[in-house]
Amino acid sequence: MRTPRLLLLGVVLSSFALLGATCDNNKDDDEDPLPQRALAATPFLRTYYQTQTIPKSMRAIKIPEGNNFEDQELQVDFDMSGAELVTDVEVGLSVGANRSADYDLYARLISAVGTASAWKPIDVKTAEKFQVQVVISFAFEFDNEISSGKWKLQLRDPIEDNDSRLMFRNASLRINDGESSTIRGLANDATQTVALSGTLGRYDILPEVFGGVNSGDIGIWGFNAMLSNVFTMTTAFSVRVATVQFAIAENDSADASKNLVLVVVPPSGGLSIWVPGDSVESLKPAGSSVNFRRYAMDISIDMAGEPSTGTWIVALVDVKHDSNTMSLSSVGPVTAALVNFPITLSLSGRTY
């Protein structure tokens, strides 16, 4: 955070105040503290919570329900800087839910000078068993305003059925693609790739998380429950795409395409959550009960504008608690043979 002033996350329900906490360590709840606030990635990109500090049992920050709030929405404040004319704004939002369903969620953004967007309906579908990430675009509402100052994200569930199903997990605010005008549109591209060899990487059975239908919600089981690998990037540029390649060894009954969750965490502490889906290639050696699958995933929108320099983390977890194991492997199938295939993180973007 580039300013010492602490920000306030206020949650007010119609019947009681659920949460009023500073953005630093919560002194009133040492046994189950809220995560620490994330540092600003750039003057134009800020994430609310530092993902790595999310405890295993994060307090449920519920999104208020109803259609008549009178300023009782959940509000998340972002102090931004840069003093630049705004051309477009995006909000990245992570929410958790207590069951698989389609949910109603409305969001609006209020600029530093007080301009409020319309309430936007957000499509939140939790057919899978992990928290949901959505990107909310504000393409014209804040044109030519100044980026610096306190921006306010407000959230509400318009259906008042008193089940408080949606829970706030994290959010990020990105102004002008997270980049200054001196960077945007540059033709010069920069790339950096870091691979972890079999002796340096953490290759092991993926932890299985607990929690029933909440088993894939990082707010329930915490970042530290995952198998993680650390990548140190030294070249400085503005990231546009992050590519992760890795191999999984799974027994006959395991299914990484559905039950593996991958989280990419940039130096700023934000996060991008993915289920890998179908593998690029698979191979089952003769006489073996183990399938080897190779994955390659491009992550773009969640990482746009992130500075490349610093510590990046790629973490994996098995969100189905059973006896069917899957492991991060240092070998993978390439053209019908098993070869050395270390986990790799590649970044590409625009030079400063």
Q: Tens digit of pLDDT per residue, the chain (352 long)?
A: 333 332 333 332 222 223 333 333 334 444 557 888 998 999 999 999 998 888 877 777 888 887 776 667 899 999 999 999 999 999 999 888 766 566 778 999 999 999 999 999 887 765 555 677 888 999 899 999 999 999 999 999 887 766 556 888 899 999 999 999 888 777 688 999 999 998 899 999 999 887 555 556 788 778 888 999 999 999 999 999 999 999 999 998 888 888 898 999 998 888 888 888 889 999 999 888 899 999 999 887 778 899 999 999 999 999 888 888 999 999 999 998 999 999 999 999 998 8
Whose tokens are 């994290």? That residue is 170
CA angle at residue 113 from 109 to 116, to 5 degrees?
A: 30
How is the chain split into domains, by residue range? Answer: 8-178, 189-351
CATH of domain 189-351: 2.60.120.260
Q: Rounded to an integer, what distance in angstroms lies between the CA atom of residue 159 and that of residue 167?
A: 14
User: Is-same-fold flag (8-178; 189-351)?
Assistant: yes
Which tokens hold the place of 176?
A: 């002008």
**Where is 78: in which H helix or E strand?**
strand 74-80
Rounded alpha-carbon distances, angstroms, from residue 169 to 139, 250, 263, 322: 24, 30, 14, 26
Residues in the chain: 352
Give strand pairing partners of 291: 250
Give strand pairing partners of 25: none
The pLDDT value recorded for residue 309 is: 95
Which CATH architecture best describes the domain 8-178?
Sandwich (2.60)
Q: 298-316 as b/e, with b when 16 or more CB fall inside 10 Å?
A: ebeebbbbbbbbeebbbbb
Q: Rounded to an integer, what distance in angstroms lies between the CA atom of residue 163 and that of residue 84?
A: 42
The pLDDT value recorded for residue 89 is: 96
Could you tell me if 95 and 168 are in contact, meaning their C-beta atoms sit under 8 angstroms apart? yes
The pLDDT value recorded for residue 52 is: 84
Give strand pairing partners of 135: 92
The pLDDT value recorded for residue 34 is: 82
Total-model pTM: 0.84
DSSP code of residue 62: B
Residues 274, 278, 279, 280: is their CA dihedral positive or negative? negative
Q: Give every CB contact of residue 212 below 8 A, 6+ residues apart in sequence.
A: none
Query: Which amino acid is present at 301?
Result: I
